[in-house]
Structure 1
């Protein structure tokens, strides 16, 4: 079995583990050969076992994929990230710095509190009394022009947005999926409005290539900002 096949199989196994322990799989959706699907992978391996094999795959990727250095770097780093997930979810304690470095390959640079407070004060001053009133007015006009909120926003999401989502899905199929050389199932998005959420929009993958996109109508949008969120959540669905 190639190192990339081992990696895909392990992704499915880690997804099965996180689903068992948390109710949520790290694998949102799977497109690929049936025999590599998460549904065909074991569900009884421990995080410790998966961690060891993922680290081995990470090393093997750098050794075996020398002709494709970007692919090697991707598989190696993703395998190490998933190994970190297994270590964390298996009950181990992990400080924030290690979480950032292991899961996201980010180096955490400590800054003194005095610097943080000084920068906060600088930002607060800049926001409270903008010197460039023309810029301030331009931002305010952008926010207020085409304002859509409340009942109007709810009606727009249930009407116009449903029509646009069909168009976006068609364009994505023509311009992205067609380049993959295979037919990819997309069973669409159901749009809902909610209140009392801490976010503007959220994508909930439902399985079987379907998603629910929810939009918080407590928030104020204009015609530009709402479309940015619509496209962002649709990207979560198709990816």
Structure 2
């Protein structure tokens, strides 16, 4: 015979169950996350790269004289704890990916707040916490071997850096041709992208030329599928940079990436955490890596060189007779781009001075003294962010190609690339066997 519970006890039990707090949802946490990121952005102009959420979520009122760093860290930790308690074990892979990325974005935000407060990390640890990636190390001998290959190719007299820059000067876009060349390059990149990627009908961009920056190009995503693309004209711009920047900042790079995230995740799914883009976060590795690999997706193999020689060279009024040698040199020089990471690592870890870092860049990146100094300014401002361009590209390329998106299968390449741009992923999600 079953023993009956007293009515009074049952009443208490029912009241307890009915008043038990329901688990907080990811959508509720997303709102708190966005507001936190926007508040931090009031105190650090680089912190928020883009925001296209509700206007009323933006901070109102006068900000404090000093950043309330302890409060911000506490709120970030609270969000991390709440996200960790959300059960997604029986959910779709997409929802699991959402939670995983949410957690890593919050880890990066907490890390950056600690750095603002004065905490220091070595270059590799900082990169891992902020961008979910482990930067590779290269020896000086590795770069010396590449310089040796270049030394036999680059014509002229003097040091290799002097000869390279004198040779490259033959391929500078004249200032009065710059706007024409860039607009034609962007139009071609856009045409190739729209043939493979469905974008919202109202997507658009504005193009501006600026000075006084530590970068060569920047995309300020405005929301509602619009971008402001800025090109820095402090230094001469070489002909190959037209396609580089057209693809990287525009199509199928940053503009397309942000538009797809806004359309597919914010508008269609209501995932409000993607309405804000904190710059120092894992999202940036995918953004920069896909923007650089996107150049090869849009202009595969020999197509790029042919287009530049047949279309952009004449527009710029440049002689293309030495173009084949120039591109052969650029191909080897491109393998030197990790030299910049080594300069940043040693400089930020305190092993070399800023002047020594600039000299390293002059030698191993073949930079002019002016460009080398500009690059060290980038190190000061953005620190380990430098890994996102080259390591990010390699991670994205390996992932796309490992999933069948090889150069000889362009449709599959575009399909994998679109899938990557439209879903929550970080570097560790893209690891393939052997990485």
**TM-score calculated relative to the size of structure 1:** 0.64
Q: Does 1:82 find its partner at 2:109? A: yes
The 1-side partners of 2:59 and 2:142 are apart by 49
Match of 1:213 among 211, 222, 230: 230
Please give the alpha-carbon distance, in whole angstroms, between the structure 2 residues aligned to 1:41 and 1:9: 18
Partner of 1:231: 247
Contact 1:80 1:102 in 2 (8 A): yes
Residue 122 of structure 1 is matched in structure 2 by: 145
How far the C-alpha of 1:120 sits from its partner, in A, is 2.6
Cα distance between partner residues in 1 of 2:82 and 2:62: 22
Is structure 2 residue 177 aligned with structure 1 residue 150?
Answer: no
Deviation at 1:76, TM superposition (A): 0.9
Who wins on radius of gyration, i.e. which is larger? 2
Instruction: Report whether the alignment pairs 1:95 with 2:121.
Output: yes
Give the CA deviation at 1:41: 11
Q: Which residue of 1 aligns with 2:52?
A: 30
2:52·2:223 contact (CA, 8 Å) conserved in 1? Answer: no
Residues 100, 92 of structure 1: CA spacing in aligned structure 2 closer, same or farther, 3 A cutoff? same
Cross-structure match for 2:75: 53
Measure how far apart 1:156 and its partner are.
0.5
Q: Unaligned regions of 5+ residues in structure 1, if any?
A: 131-142, 179-184
Q: CA deviation at 1:210?
A: 5.0
How far did 1:158 drift? Answer: 7.5
Q: TM-score, normalised by structure 2?
A: 0.38
CA distance in 2, matches of 1:84, 1:4: 23
- Compute the RMSD of aligned alpha carbons: 4.2
**Structure number with higher relative contact order (C-alpha < 8 Å, ≥ 6 residues apart):** 2
Measure, in 2, the Cα distance between the counterparts of 1:55 and 1:196: 37
Q: Where do 1:9-28 residues align within 5 Å?
A: 9-19=32-42, 21-28=43-50
Q: Secondary structure at the match of 2:50?
A: coil
Count of paired positions: 206
Q: CA deviation at 1:230?
A: 1.2
What whole-Å deviation, never above 9, does each CA across 1:173-204 have from its counterpart, x for those lacking one?
Answer: x81347xxxxxx75x43323356766443334
